[in-house]
Amino acid sequence: MQLEDILKFHGVGAKFSISAQRIGMTEDDFHTMATEWVASGGGPGFVVVGEPHREAHTPRRRIDRLTIRKGK
């Protein structure tokens, strides 16, 4: 499922988590995009809420999950 499809499903103000697997990205690509989204406060149609979750099983500590809130 693409991020756009997930955003269409949720109403304005809904808060939910996204991950690489959920939006069909590789873990590395998700980490890259998530880093940009965190730095800018959000992405297309959403804002980042709280701190990103980082994987703990490797020393790379990539962002593997974000909690976001759908905007207008």
* Per-residue pLDDT tens digits for 10-29: 999 999 999 999 999 999 99
Q: What is the pLDDT of residue 5?
A: 92
pLDDT per residue over 40-72, tens digit each?
Answer: 999 999 999 999 999 888 788 899 999 999 998
Q: Per-residue pLDDT averaged across 1-8, rounded?
A: 90
Provide the CB-side half-sphere exposure for 46 (13 A, CA): 26
Q: State the greatest distance between any 2 C-alpha atoms of the chain, in Å, as a whole number.
A: 37
Q: How far, in Å, CA of 62 to CA of 68, rounded?
A: 17
Coil, strand or helix at 63: strand
**Six-digit token string for 23:** 């939006």
Q: What is the pLDDT of residue 69?
A: 97
Does the pTM surpass 0.75? The reply is: yes
